[in-house]
Amino acid sequence: QVQLVESGGALVKPGGSLRLSCAVSGFTFSDHYMSWIRQAPGKGLEWVSYIGNRGSPIYYADSVKGRFTISRDNAQNSVYLQMNSLRAEDTAVYYCARLMSSSVDYWGQGTVVTVSS
């Protein structure tokens, strides 16, 4: 069955960096766009970034552009989110999700990122 497992969430100080990983199984990873979506405490869902099945195209929300970098390794069935210059407003649960036919059909369980001094 399809599985998406995020890791890498942590407590980090403002200005710090973090790298999230998402390991997937149960489908042909290289056939699918992948994305990161976040949810701040008590708030709704926000697109962060997505990446095409072979590494392009790539999209970033304006709120993270220039600070976050998405990448993928099709040989390792993994997608990553490098987060630099973290701010308090980046505090959220970060979900890895599979894009299929202009929708999200599978979500991971999420990993918690807390930015606080």
Partner 1 sequence: DVVMTQSPLSLPVTLGQPASISCRSSQSLVHSNGNTFLSWFQQRPGQSPRRLIYEVSNRDSGVPDRFSGSGSGTDFTLKISRVEAEDVGIYYCMQGTHWPSLTFGGGTKVEIK
36 lines the binding site for partner 1 (CB under 8 A): no
The DSSP result for 77-111, as a single string, is TEEEEEE-S--GGG-EEEEEEEEETTEEEEE---E
Judged by CB under 8 A, the residue of 3, 105, 112, 116 near partner 1 is 105
User: Which residues pair with residue 94 across a beta bridge?
Assistant: 38, 111
User: Which of 36, 50, 68, 80 touches partner 1 (CB under 8 A)?
Assistant: 50
Q: Is 110 among the residues that bind partner 1 (CB under 8 A)?
A: yes
Distance in angstroms between the alpha carbons of the first and the last residue of the chain: 40
The binding site for partner 1 (CB under 8 A) comprises 44-47, 50, 57, 59, 61, 95, 101-105, 107-110
